[in-house]
Structure 1
């Protein structure tokens, strides 16, 4: 379940408090009082058999006695009563409840069923949604709804706050009230037995009264559900998150470097970044960031110019910027010359720009104008300390009315107290981000930078790259099956190399040998020099026991090295089984970097990919970055760029840059391997040599386990569904019908260019000369878990492959309804492409269990109406003018009993 019936929770017309009381300081008394004190406009009913009246209002003995069906119920009764009350409410017709009661995890009855399980079982037949149990409740200040036992009510505003911690909920409420911060929603999730973080994100992401979403998260249960909801919400508005539990209690036991390096917090960080959200580390940072993102204009870059009426403040800001990983703008020669002409000669000649303490208003505006025109600056930080020469309010008034303030995003810092309070208020009213200290201002700028980077990951279009070799997945599966059949949790080194080779990852020539004589024979066949290693299912890190020997020049050296290995293992690890040796060609690539590529499996987010500096000291160096698969070129590039070694890989002094394309291709092949083989739970490639000649895996280790679900199903982000590709014959030529993917953006540009303005208007109900990058990104970078777009690829004019048509369906989070649309190139209309795409889309939605396809088209769109009539789509004509929309509907499955109209009962709109 997701947003189904949540409108009854967040926008109820009536509320019943089950367990309302007159006992001072009790939960029932507090909730009842809060609902009346908040100014809620609908009726509030008290239910408690102990009373006839409460606070001069009627009190009803049970749910059945209420004069009407309460749209929302708030339950404050003992745990044993909750399942029965939920059943009564569901039967009466209530569709949402807040359960404040704690202690429902206790098992009771002969079946040893917990009361929480009984509660959910009672709610299920009626699809009654439950917030909690064990929560503080919720507030919707705009409605005057305070269905909580919090000590104070929230102020109305545009921020939504959602917390998995009850204690933090009340603390943040108190903190926000003291700073006059208001909320659209204030929600305590409690134990999230039914309504969870993803459900609330889905609802708030499309709520018009919510400008930003603030989350306090302790744990996520379903990685894919959370990622789909978070990515959808983050495309619409800023989502900020505090993730608690950053430091683990103890080290994680793992059989690979990757498992040891990929801590749970790193994985959450990767998920937050991939979802386009912004992570902060304190409630103060959260509200600062919310204000920054609400006020600041989007940044075009990351270079900050600083201007100040005092040198010290500028230096403080510079320190904070550099220590925070930011970039200081370097003004061009022309900019410096203009500043020299406009400012006193005593100023410091550089960035930060010191306009000197006696600066009049005109000097502020002149400096702002010059920096705003500088091509080397992306944003400006203006710092002002109070002086006797000119009041800060005069500067602020001039600043907010100056055209120069619109040339670059401007951040303002008014240092001091009462003397600059008016200036701060003027800037806030004008929509300029405003801060009290230079450090706070720089932190706000860096938050805007980080948020912009994360949003770019949602909007970037991967460049075209040469496709890697088609993987031989069956060959890789044979190795995995053999290991599992033998009861092994680790592949042998030769098996691991076979798996990597099957996916086009370059590996060094290696041969396995059962004993020393066989190893010598293998080395002579390969040719000296060679490297030799032990094979043991009981020893994970071979170098720890002297199980690696390099640059062996002869058979005698090899034999001597292997004998020493045997003797050492017998002495230090007598329990370990020695299965033999591997011999490989000695690779001599001077100047090559040792990298580590790996994968591990997180219980929440599934497989994750790791990249960093490799070698035997990889764990101690700790230079790594984590990403969620699937990866494309841009995501692989971003992953590499987050490590310290990335700067060296670009080349320095006489050391050339590595072949980055080869590295990115290897990361993508590794990602594909994880998508295809669900049995792989852990993987190390360490070291992976990288230089200008390419990459080469020298050592590999792969852990396996029986698969609980298909490969793609275990990923937090559903990968490209290649299995849906289909080639059909169209007018005597092949036509590829396949899901859209991010690399299609250039083809979509050509698709729109080939459509007439009239056809574009028919599809979008508006005129679009050329869609913006952000629009094209949203059309090509879709969440396959919730949306599907099939494109028809065929030969266009000139014989080049092109998009000839598309059919798209966007499903609601409950998979009840999908809004669909179809478009065909203007020069390909009336040739059957629309029908082919529509049939494929209908079959896909039906297989997914979607119940209804809905859409809207213009009454004048005869082509769409004709397609609808041949596809079994019901056309609803409402007799309105031809310019109005005509509703289209295709029922795919019958609704279950108890289903209600989807949220708000809204009419479908064009997509």
Structure 2
């Protein structure tokens, strides 16, 4: 596996070779040379030409092996058929990375491109090289003055990284950003992504100190799990914003054809971005406006906005935009209203939006704003100002800025007009307060903050991979599936599908299956077994919505009614769907639940992100209502509730007037159980429960169809785009004093107990752990310790009683060990911390053995660590569990290393 560290040589080289350099005006070979030489890059730029003619005053080499020194990175402009030879030459010379600017004929020929790609990757793997492209414009790193691109201009330095899949947008955004004086830490074009993809670049940018935010332009994703793992890791520390093409079906098809990748559903991409803590925007203006907003504001505590203005119309327009976008207008406290009445002397609107008189002074603005910022029902304030001759905009801006600095709540501003507002905007820009030209843009900025906050909350969710509160009969389901596959069937319908639901404790209506051989009389007999009234449905693998084809009859009260309904069903289906196969009937107990809502739950397999769950309004109006939301499994109750909240039917489920609220807990539990089902049984690639009745009593599935196929993975969690909490790694161990301790992976909900755990760690042990004297950890740092991505990091905590033999007390966190693994799985770095009052009980050794075995099982090459020279206890523990210990006398630390999986020779 190629090391991620090679990306340093790509994006921060000390020397560059150019294969295909040229002096021909307008040629790519000349453009790349001009860009490399016209910046402030300090390293040598070495052209390679067979005729050895100088290029722009730089001496050329005939070939790679005659270069005066080995380049860190090479830019290649050559015909596609010559590319393997050039990469082979660079690899032999010891070059670490290449930007492949060549454009090739394999762009739209999938088979030829796949074979060509494998050949190139074999070469790069052999020499441990990384390649950017081909068919890319290259990259710009303004921090070192390096322009290794075919762009027509340099990028300004800044703290935002822009990564684009599109060459045209690369050039467009660069031009636009320069005109707006926007700078970048990196400006990267990915091209065809033979080797380096979004996930690789995100891994690199995560640790780049010059990058404070990341902007992505995406058309398609090639490795969903790798991408989401990297994106989730970055989004925990830096804002990640996404501009994605393909919102429409036509746009998505065009994007997939252009990139040669699979066509994935846009709503699934949306769900993935949301779950990864990223924020999706729709245009370039919003992209940069939003990153500026997030960079200048504090995390929101809530979603309620107060609006302060000196003009009624802007206040009303802002309110309309907020409400239309699903936002929340703050309801002011009585105390705040009393203060405003006394201070404003009636010169305000007595409501939110708070409208002052048109000639309101800076002092009046300051007073009103100070009360709003102290209001407990207000999470942020939007301050707007309409220009007036009575008071200058800058005076109001200075007063607003001074007051805003006194509060931890966010203040956004929109001073209307052009020239009149310029000075005010400059005041806000200097103070780091977001400012917008129009009320609409200001509201959009606030709503993006709200959505970003919600996405960050979803990022912290870690659902389990195995059942906890219920024990399904998974073996029964696997038998259903195995019998179907052995008989050559893909569809589980009728009693089989209902049996699957019952095995997972999902209430399902009593059902009988009647074959076509049994016919109408078989339906009558089944109805008698169940008891009247019954529902009768056609049994057909070709009809997903049976009612739309006339294949359903309800409230049948007698044998005669069943006979008549069965005949009519056969006639209607044959008339409306003559090609549909009819395999018999389904007879079910008729459910009479007057206030039940018809919902649906579906599982579909997306070609990019794997299994996804859809939820929405069901029944015969499913397609007409078009009311559904999508989420990536696995789900827990919190994620299930969030999924439901994104549908229109959610407001109806909450109840109104004489219509009682549905049992939301039962609906959420059903979604979680379906999520668990597809983790446990990877052969299920499609599932539809429609309708699912839901009312105050709970839920009841009335119909279900399940499609199965041979699984391509051994474990269900391997097909998920987001790895679930690995419950299978939980284990109990015994300490030297006989105490039973539970070792398990850390979870987000462990954060409160982790604070208490650190209170039992001495200052000296904290210094040993963090290599410096630290006070209380900030909330953000504690979140990083307890909210982890199990794909690239693992932390095991020990839970047990504080006192040996006390089985009745609350379990406490007694110790923690963690390993952060490099994205290439080459190295895992460990750290361990035990409660200072519980040492010498063998807990440290148990935790270390647990983390070592885990890293070994996932194929990690080696595990390493460090300890301060005076930390003799850690040195002894490391030696006891098999580490090679060496001392670094220069830094006065001990280094630990243990090879877990030797490299193949």
After TM superposition, the score normalised by the length of structure 1 is 0.92
User: Which residue in 2 is equivalent to 1:545?
Assistant: 549
> Are the equivalent residues in 2 in contact too, given 1:64–1:88 (CA < 8 A)?
yes
| Deviation of 1:528 (Å) | 1.5
Query: Does 1:530 pair with 2:538?
Result: no
2:523 to 486, 507, 519: 519
User: Which residue in 1 is equivalent to 2:784?
Assistant: 778
Please give the secondary structure, in 2, of the residue aligned with 1:617. Answer: helix
Separation in 1, partners of 2:763, 2:506: 47
Separation in 1, partners of 2:796, 2:113: 49
User: Which residue in 2 is equivalent to 1:631?
Assistant: 635
Please give the secondary structure, in 2, of the residue aligned with 1:401. Answer: helix
Moved more, 131-140 or 376-385: 376-385
User: Which residue in 2 is equivalent to 1:703?
Assistant: 707
Query: Does 1:825 pair with 2:826?
Result: no
Moved more, 653-662 or 142-151: 653-662
Moved more, 275-284 or 704-713: 704-713
Separation in 2, partners of 1:298, 1:106: 43
Query: Does 1:886 pair with 2:894?
Result: yes
Separation in 2, partners of 1:106, 1:410: 49
Separation in 2, partners of 1:387, 1:111: 67
Moved more, 218-227 or 640-649: 640-649
1:814 to 802, 819, 824: 824
Moved more, 666-675 or 534-543: 534-543
| Deviation of 1:3 (Å) | 2.4
Moved more, 412-421 or 8-17: 412-421
1:867 to 852, 874, 877: 877
Query: Does 1:668 pair with 2:675?
Result: no
User: Which residue in 2 is equivalent to 1:789?
Assistant: 795
| Deviation of 1:570 (Å) | 4.3
> Are the equivalent residues in 2 in contact too, given 1:104–1:116 (CA < 8 A)?
no
Distance 1:746 1:426, change over 3 A: closer
Please give the secondary structure, in 2, of the residue aligned with 1:702. Answer: strand
Q: CA RMSD in A?
A: 2.6
1:715 to 716, 720, 729: 720
Separation in 1, partners of 2:457, 2:577: 51
User: Which residue in 2 is equivalent to 1:87?
Assistant: 88
Q: How does 1:443-458 map to 2 (within 5 A)?
A: 443-458=444-459
| Deviation of 1:749 (Å) | 4.4
Distance 1:524 1:404, change over 3 A: same
> Are the equivalent residues in 1 in contact too, given 2:362–2:397 (CA < 8 A)?
no
Q: Deviations over 1:860-885 (max 9, x none)?
A: 3333222111101122323469xx64
Distance 1:343 1:30, change over 3 A: same
Query: Does 1:161 pair with 2:165?
Result: no
> Are the equivalent residues in 2 in contact too, given 1:414–1:436 (CA < 8 A)?
yes
Moved more, 700-709 or 741-750: 741-750
User: Which residue in 2 is equivalent to 1:591?
Assistant: 595
> Are the equivalent residues in 1 in contact too, given 2:232–2:277 (CA < 8 A)?
yes
Please give the secondary structure, in 2, of the residue aligned with 1:288. Answer: helix
Q: Deviations over 1:585-634 (max 9, x none)?
A: 21111111111111100111100011111111112211111110111121
Moved more, 481-490 or 578-587: 578-587
> Are the equivalent residues in 2 in contact too, given 1:206–1:236 (CA < 8 A)?
no
Please give the secondary structure, in 2, of the residue aligned with 1:422. Answer: helix
Please give the secondary structure, in 2, of the residue aligned with 1:512. Answer: strand
User: Which residue in 2 is equivalent to 1:388?
Assistant: 389
Query: Does 1:724 pair with 2:719?
Result: no
> Are the equivalent residues in 2 in contact too, given 1:380–1:411 (CA < 8 A)?
yes
> Are the equivalent residues in 2 in contact too, given 1:217–1:244 (CA < 8 A)?
yes
| Deviation of 1:310 (Å) | 1.8
Q: Deviations over 1:697-745 (max 9, x none)?
A: 1111111111111311110011222332334455556544333334444
Distance 1:427 1:250, change over 3 A: closer
Please give the secondary structure, in 2, of the residue aligned with 1:820. Answer: strand
| Deviation of 1:440 (Å) | 1.2
Query: Does 1:577 pair with 2:587?
Result: no
Separation in 2, partners of 1:371, 1:673: 49
Separation in 2, partners of 1:428, 1:839: 53
| Deviation of 1:820 (Å) | 1.0
Distance 1:154 1:122, change over 3 A: same
Distance 1:709 1:758, change over 3 A: same
Separation in 1, partners of 2:573, 2:770: 71
User: Which residue in 2 is equivalent to 1:234?
Assistant: 235
> Are the equivalent residues in 1 in contact too, given 2:106–2:113 (CA < 8 A)?
no
User: Which residue in 1 is equivalent to 2:256?
Assistant: none
Please give the secondary structure, in 2, of the residue aligned with 1:634. Answer: helix
User: Which residue in 1 is equivalent to 2:103?
Assistant: 102
Q: How many residues align?
A: 884
Distance 1:369 1:8, change over 3 A: same
Q: How does 1:5-154 map to 2 (within 5 A)?
A: 5-103=6-104, 105=106, 114-154=115-155
| Deviation of 1:405 (Å) | 4.8
Separation in 2, partners of 1:39, 1:285: 31
Distance 1:511 1:310, change over 3 A: same
> Are the equivalent residues in 1 in contact too, given 2:462–2:747 (CA < 8 A)?
no
User: Which residue in 1 is equivalent to 2:260?
Assistant: none
Q: Deviations over 1:380-420 (max 9, x none)?
A: 11112322233222332333333665342111112222222
Query: Does 1:763 pair with 2:764?
Result: no
Distance 1:338 1:466, change over 3 A: farther
Separation in 1, partners of 2:63, 2:420: 60
Distance 1:497 1:45, change over 3 A: same
Q: Deviations over 1:75-110 (max 9, x none)?
A: 1122222111111111111101101111152799x9
User: Which residue in 2 is equivalent to 1:374?
Assistant: 375
User: Which residue in 2 is equivalent to 1:906?
Assistant: none
Q: How does 1:193-342 map to 2 (within 5 A)?
A: 193-249=194-250, 264-342=265-343
| Deviation of 1:769 (Å) | 7.2
Separation in 2, partners of 1:715, 1:679: 13
Q: Deviations over 1:253-308 (max 9, x none)?
A: xxxxxxxxx98111000000000000000011100011111111221111111111
> Are the equivalent residues in 2 in contact too, given 1:819–1:853 (CA < 8 A)?
yes
Mark the runs of 5 or more structure 1 residues left unpaired by the alignment. Answer: 253-261, 898-911
User: Which residue in 2 is equivalent to 1:845?
Assistant: 855
Please give the secondary structure, in 2, of the residue aligned with 1:236. Answer: coil
Please give the secondary structure, in 2, of the residue aligned with 1:610. Answer: strand
Distance 1:733 1:586, change over 3 A: farther
Distance 1:233 1:623, change over 3 A: same
> Are the equivalent residues in 1 in contact too, given 2:745–2:797 (CA < 8 A)?
yes
User: Which residue in 1 is equivalent to 2:649?
Assistant: 645
User: Which residue in 1 is equivalent to 2:681?
Assistant: 677
| Deviation of 1:342 (Å) | 2.9
After TM superposition, the score normalised by the length of structure 2 is 0.93
Separation in 2, partners of 1:539, 1:478: 25
Distance 1:750 1:425, change over 3 A: same
Mark the runs of 5 or more structure 2 residues left unpaired by the alignment. Answer: 254-262
Q: Deviations over 1:150-182 (max 9, x none)?
A: 111111111100000001100011100110000
Please give the secondary structure, in 2, of the residue aligned with 1:406. Answer: coil
> Are the equivalent residues in 1 in contact too, given 2:28–2:77 (CA < 8 A)?
yes
> Are the equivalent residues in 1 in contact too, given 2:307–2:382 (CA < 8 A)?
yes
| Deviation of 1:674 (Å) | 1.0
| Deviation of 1:238 (Å) | 0.4
Separation in 1, partners of 2:843, 2:802: 13
